[in-house]
Amino acid sequence: MITLQEIVKKNKEGRRAGIYSCCSANEDVIRAALIRARKTGTPALIESTSNQVNQLGGYTGMTPFDFADFVRRLAEENAVPGSRSSSAATIWARCLGWTAKRKKRS
């Protein structure tokens, strides 16, 4: 798998390289991004909007922690190693101080 550092290096050398990313809470869209990342050996970045996913559940009913778990489950189902997929919700949840047991601000 190519690392983010290698992608940056290639871009600085004038070579084209990137990662697969999507901003969606739709299972089919996320699955497609993960499958493509697996096939190309690149990382995937999955995001959602604050309307889709937020501390109150957004219109999907998912909190950031729920969304991160959802993305992890899809990655596992599609044989994408966890280290190759990242959910912005995971980062957001960590920044807010959320834990698996308490889905409230610390």
Question: Using one digit for the tens of pLDDT, what is the confidence trace for 35-90?
Answer: 888 888 888 888 888 899 888 989 999 988 888 889 888 888 887 765 555 555 44
pTM of the entire structure? 0.71
Closest CA to 46 of 63, 62, 70, 17: 70
pLDDT value at 105 more than 70:
no
Neighbours of 66 (CB within 10 A): 17
In a 13 Å sphere around the CA of 99, the CA atoms on its Cβ side amount to 3
Q: Would you give the end-to-end CA distance of the chain in angstroms?
A: 36
Structure-block tokens of residue 77: 């189902």
